[in-house]
Amino acid sequence: MKLDRPARRATLVVHVIAAAGWLGLTLGLLALAVTAITTESPAMTEATVRSMKVFADWLILPLALLTLLSGLVLSLGTPWGLARHRWVYTKFWMTLGTTVASVFALRPGVTDAAASVASGAGVLDPTDLVAGPIVSLSAYLFMTVVSVLKPWGLTKRGRKHRAGSRNAVDGRGVRQTA
Ligand code: HEM
């Protein structure tokens, strides 16, 4: 499957919007979590943790899946390939890892904290509440830098592919998206 130029450009726009949205969401979650654990006001704690729950319930999974799916389409539909360039392959596994962690650790943690503040017990595990957003924010910042700089060259598979064909994996065309 090879994407033609308009399809590649449209998918790239969707991909960057989804990835930027995911990054912004995590930044928002971090601001809310820090406020929740530092404020003196129980009403503010409840409001911020409840807001985190709304974001976690409605936005995390759709943005994660959209980033992953559009990234897969771009990888498989362009000469970049999924496992030919280290920067793409690294992003793929990191995105998969952070998606799983968001669904099975971050979201349940926020749900527990929301139940706990609703029962009047406050935030029982403040470290847990900020840890999720800190870890994912660091991962997305790293992946954004990697996406722009595209470091580390070809994988073993990419070198084999290039040796086997003159398909110009690193030639003109790859970076001429926009
Ligand atoms: C949070 C995760 C991700 C972030 C922040 C991110 C960010 C970006 C950004 C900013 C670009 C534009 C780079 C440029 O045009 O110079 C890009 C392109 C790209 N991304 Fe991602 N991405 C993420 C996940 C993924 C995943 C999971 C894959 C693969 C499965 C992927 C594959 C690609 C490919 C192949 C391109 C180049 C597209 C082209 O030139 O046509 N990305 N990404």
Q: Give how many domains the chain has, as a whole number.
A: 1
CA-nearest residue for atom 14, ligand 1, is 148
Cβ 90 under 6 angstroms from ligand 1: no
pLDDT at 176: 52
Whether the CB-CB separation of 39 and 94 falls below 8 Å is answered with no
What's the per-residue H, E or C state across 16-39?
Answer: HHHHHHHHHHHHHHHHHHHHHHHC
pLDDT at 162: 85
Ligand 1 atom with least separation from CA of 75? 35
pLDDT at 109: 95
Cβ 144 under 6 angstroms from ligand 1: yes
Amino acid at 8: R
Task: Kindly give, in sequence order, each residue whose CB lies less than 8 Å from that of residue 145, ignoring residues fewer than 6 positions away.
Answer: none
Distance 151 CA to ligand 1 centre (A): 13
CA-nearest residue for atom 42, ligand 1, is 71
Tens digits of per-residue pLDDT, 131-173?
999 999 999 999 999 999 999 999 999 999 888 775 544 444 4
Q: Is 172 exposed, middle or buried (0-12, 13-18, 19+ CB in 10 A)?
A: exposed
pLDDT at 173: 47
Mean pLDDT, to the nearest integer, of 89-117? 96
Ligand 1 atom with least separation from CA of 3? 41
The residue range of the domain holding 124 is: 5-164
Instruction: Evaluate whether residue 129 is within a structural domain.
Output: yes
| pLDDT > 80? residue 1 | no
Instruction: Evaluate whether residue 14 is within a structural domain.
Output: yes
Q: Which of 14, 15, 94, 96 to mutate to test the pocket of ligand 1 (most atoms within 8 A of CB)?
A: 15
Whether the CB-CB separation of 28 and 59 falls below 8 Å is answered with no
Instruction: Evaluate whether residue 71 is within a structural domain.
Output: yes
